[in-house]
Amino acid sequence: RRPKNFPPGPRPLPLFGNLLQLSIANPMKDLEELSKRYGNIYSLYMGSKAAVVLNGFEAMKEALVTKAVDFAGRPKDLMVNHVTEGKGVILTDYGPSWREHRRFALMTLRNFGLGKQSMEERILGEVSYIIARLEKSAGKPMDPQTLFHDAASNIICTVLFGKRYDYEDKFLKRFIKLYTENAKIANGPWAMIYDTLPMVRSLPLPFKKAFTNSAIVKKMSRDLVSEHKKTRIPGEPRDFIDCYLDELDKVCTCIGDDGSSFSEDQLVMYVLDLHFAGTDTTSNTLLTAFLYLSTHSDIQERCQREIDEVLQGKDQVSFEDRHKMPYTQAMIYESQRIANTVPLSVFHCTTKDTELMGYSIPKGTLIIPNLSSVLYEESQWKFPHEFNPENFLNDQGQFEKPEAFMPFSAGPRMCLGEGLARMELFLILVTLLRRFQFVWPEDGGEPDYTPVWGVTLTPKPYRMVVRHRLKSSD
Ligand code: HEM
């Protein structure tokens, strides 16, 4: 039975809750239908666990921004919590450990050059490898699927481990494969069954694969930490791992082990969190951008004209140039909006009894922020259902970001890698568009824009033809 004044929703069945009323292969359509029937805030049951789904800008803003702390928790008893053993930052509940680790990551990313020249150099350095790979395929159709995952992974690897890997490197390939598999399992049918029916959790069902994958990547991360411990010079950090080990030295000598949330086990998981969050998101956004650019040549050419004009006489683009490229900026934001890369965000949880738009929501309720309902909300966008940079341009043709642009979510749990992602998307897209033309192959058939469902949405595999725009001497 629903608590008093709880948001309405479909009647749950004993044991299963509302599981059988949702398509477990991809529940997005069902969630949309339910909001048409019950309004922007409605409830669902996963077994006996109550969940509230947030839809639309108003509800999202009131929950995540206005009532920020009330909605800043993370749920505890889901498959993803068990896979990550409650460590790291993404799935850690609101509290001192989350706060300390979040602050540490933001500070370390900044010190490693976020917003400064050195992070730009890292990204532009990686772009030169992307160019080399594209050069090899010039004139022929190529599948960009792994290229952008490899590149995004390498950028975050240079920050975390101080090194990049060759695109053919077995370590890199394995790391990414295990992650991308888990990103699909974590929101997939077997995770839903695991989350709804605790009695099946010990059975040898397909969700076990997520645990096996996770054990392998944890071992890989632990090995990297051990290697760093052997080669580091305390006080002279080379990368994120060294910074964390320095911090660990400080807390051990100052206040002893207890008192601090920093530990080597946390570090192992933290590295994995950041690597995963920094790879699958940026790469899927890039894949979506190139899917739309290669099928919308008018938009691609308009960006190229603007880029050519602004970068005339310059060797390479800098992040500052974005202010002079309103149309290209708008195209990048529009790619993010249409990509809808993390459609249900990361699930939240209420940290206390609270109210939302007149409903009462008890402490500990699972909160599902349906970000796609905001990114495609008809009242918020000029062209909600088409790929159109005009969504981010005002009447004077200047770049303008509507408040409903929330692919990174909002409030205290908002993506902590936004700055890095933004810089990557701009530098990679501008450099590649300046140099190459991306064309949908003649034998490519009708483009299919429907993404593959998961924690992150991935475009279906596609091919594009890469053609040179400039001669290499230009
Ligand atoms: C286009 C790229 C990206 C998108 C669309 C994206 C989106 C998101 C979203 C929707 C969340 C959930 C926020 C919430 O729970 O309310 C999130 C969290 C997070 N993201 Fe990103 N992200 C991107 C890139 C990155 C990068 C490059 C990093 C790595 C530095 C990163 C690190 C994180 C972390 C650590 C969290 C958890 C924050 C917390 O729980 O406090 N993300 N991201």
- Mind giving me the DSSP string for 55-100? -HHHHHHIIIIITGGGG-B--SSSHHHHHHTT-SSTTPPSSHHHHH
Confidence band for 115, pLDDT divided at 50, 70 and 90: very low
Pocket test for ligand 1, best of 279, 415, 457 (most atoms within 8 A of CB): 415
Q: Is residue 18 part of a domain?
A: no
Task: Determine the 3-state secondary structure of 17 from DSSP.
Answer: strand
Least confident range from 64-73, 344-353, 419-428, 446-455: namely 446-455
In the 8-state DSSP scheme, what is residue 369? E
pLDDT at 57 over 50: yes
Q: Which of 87, 158, 281 to mutate to test the pocket of ligand 1 (most atoms within 8 A of CB)?
A: 281
Q: Say what the pLDDT of residue 474 is.
A: 43
Atom of ligand 1 nearest to the CA of 347: 15
Residue 230 located in a structural domain: yes
Enclosing domain of residue 406 = 79-346+376-468
The answer to the question of residue 19 being in a domain is no
Give the mean model confidence (pLDDT) for residues 222-238: 94
Q: From CA 150, how far away is CA 319, in angstroms rounded?
A: 22
The percent of residues in the chain predicted with pLDDT above 90, rounded, is 73
User: Is 4 inside a domain boundary?
Assistant: no
* Cα–ligand 1 centroid distance for 421 (angstroms): 9
Residue 78 has pLDDT above 90, yes or no: no
Question: CB of 281 closer than 6 A to ligand 1?
Answer: yes
Q: Rounded CA gap, 285 and 339, in Å?
A: 6
Q: How confident is the model at residue 344 (pLDDT cuts 50, 70, 90)?
A: very high
pLDDT tens for residues 293-307? Answer: 999 999 999 999 999
Question: Does 70 map to a domain?
Answer: no
pLDDT at 110: 83
Which CATH number belongs to the domain containing residue 92 in this structure? 1.10.630.10
Give the confidence band of 113 by pLDDT, cuts at 50, 70, 90: low
> Is 60 domain-assigned?
no
In the chain, count of helices (H) and strands (E)? 15, 9
Q: Which atom of ligand 1 is nearest to the CA of 407?
A: 5
415 lines ligand 1 (CB under 6 A): yes
Q: Report how far ligand 1's centroid is from the alpha carbon of 418 (Å).
A: 7
Is the pLDDT at 255 greater than 50? The verdict is no
Query: Residue 357 falls within a domain, yes or no?
Result: no
- Using a 6 Å cutoff on CB, does residue 277 contact ligand 1? yes
Q: Is it the case that residue 127 has pLDDT exceeding 70?
A: yes
Instruction: Specify the number of domains making up the chain.
Output: 1
User: Quick check: CB of 345 below 6 Å from ligand 1?
Assistant: yes
Ligand 1 proximity of 346 Cβ (cutoff 6 Å): yes
Q: How far is the CA of 278 from the centre of ligand 1 (A)?
A: 7
Asked, for residue 231, whether it belongs to a domain, the answer is: yes
**pLDDT top residue among 183 and 150:** 150
% of the chain at pLDDT higher than 70: 96
Lowest mean pLDDT segment, chosen from 25-29, 245-249, 345-349: 25-29
| Better pLDDT: 189 or 379 | 379
**Residue 89 scores a pLDDT above 70:** yes
Answer whether 274 contacts ligand 1 (Cβ < 6 A): yes
Tell me the three state secondary structure of residue 174: helix
pLDDT of residue 191: 85
133 pLDDT band, cuts 50/70/90, is: very high
Strand order from edge to edge, sheet including 49-54: 41-46, 49-54, 366-369, 348-349
- pLDDT score of 138: 92
Top-confidence residue, 151 or 184: 151
- Residue 454: what pLDDT? 85
- What is the model's pLDDT at position 256? 46
Q: At what angle do helices 240-255 and 264-295 cross, to 10 degrees?
A: 150
Residue 164 in contact with ligand 1 by CB distance below 6 A: no
Does the beta carbon of 413 lie inside 6 Å of ligand 1? yes
Nearest CA to ligand 1 atom 7: 408
Ligand 1 atom 19, closest CA: 415
The pLDDT of residue 172: 86
pLDDT digits (tens, 9 = 90+) for 430-467: 999 999 999 999 999 999 999 998 889 999 999 999 99
Q: Rounded to whole angstroms, how far apart are CA atoms 121 and 28?
A: 39
Gap from CA of 412 to ligand 1 centroid (Å): 12
Instruction: Tell me whether residue 415 is annotated as binding.
Output: yes
> Is 473 a residue whose pLDDT tops 80?
no
